[in-house]
Amino acid sequence: MLKIGEFSVLSQISIYMLRHYDEIGLLIPEQVDEFTGYRYYSERQLPIAGKIQALKSMGLSLNLIKEILTKYSDNTGLKNYLELQAIEQKEKIEHMRKKLNLLETTIANLDRDSDIPLFSVALKKIPAHYVISVRGIIETPDKEAELWERLAQERKKQKIQFTNPAWNIAVFHDEGFQDRNLDVEIQQAVIGKCRDSDIMKYKKVEEITAATLTFKGRYALLPQANEEIIRWIGDNCYKLNGNHFNIYHISPEMEQLEDEMVTEVCFPVSPI
């Protein structure tokens, strides 16, 4: 039999940790003197101590190690379990790699002169929702109000309940940049069902993962916001995955001062 100090030397586990392992039932001494309380281990327990050290070095918690030693007596079962742990660790590494890349690209761009800071870009899941919509061709971006007026006329014909907070959305269906004859669809998020008309449509919008940038100020900042978010998407290993859209959180309907308006620019994305 080995005293705890002798077992500590052979196993390379501190006396403190051996006592802790005993308390949690991970590595229990083979014998405890009932009068002195001294712990004694046998050489047969050294392989178990070695397994504990090996599994601990893989980053596994003591609770997991205890579960492994209890459940998996054969290599096949242990192999399958560790393969799952390896997948989980790879996912964590990839997640940390993305975080690090985001930090590095943000730091690199902080010296750029911009009215809209790059660090305001966030990756969001926009939940599925129901909308009423009107789609049409507008001559120039400033003519978007015509579509909103058309939707306002149509929705008067029905009793419609809007979400709270309200979502006023403009989806841009053109491929690439276009400053004339834009294909735009405006939407308002609603609760409950609505009837289609020749002009207004009711539909469900599925969940979207999007890179988003919310800014306060005049609509003249929109091209700059688009530029910043496109740069963020490229820097952080994403690709475009759908038509970009704007959510007007504070619009001219609510606020006359341009500098008080709040707009969220959204570009649907997926990993490269």
Place of tokens 């809209």: 116
pLDDT for 221:
83
Element of type H or E holding 153: helix 144-155
Provide the β-strand partners of residue 2. Answer: 41
pLDDT for 169:
96
Q: pTM value?
A: 0.61
**Dist. CA 267–CA 225, nearest whole Å:** 11
pLDDT for 109:
62
CA 132 from chain center: how many Å? 28
pLDDT for 115:
58
pLDDT for 29:
93
Place of tokens 């964590």: 92
pLDDT for 17:
94
Which residues of the chain carry a pLDDT beneath 70? 102, 105-106, 108-119, 255
pLDDT for 41:
94
**Dist. CA 121–CA 13, nearest whole Å:** 47
Q: How confident is the model over 140-156, as pLDDT tens digits? A: 888 999 999 999 999 88
Q: Which of 199, 202, 211 is nearest to 241 (CA)?
A: 211
Q: Which of 246, 249, 243 is nearest to 163 (CA)?
A: 249
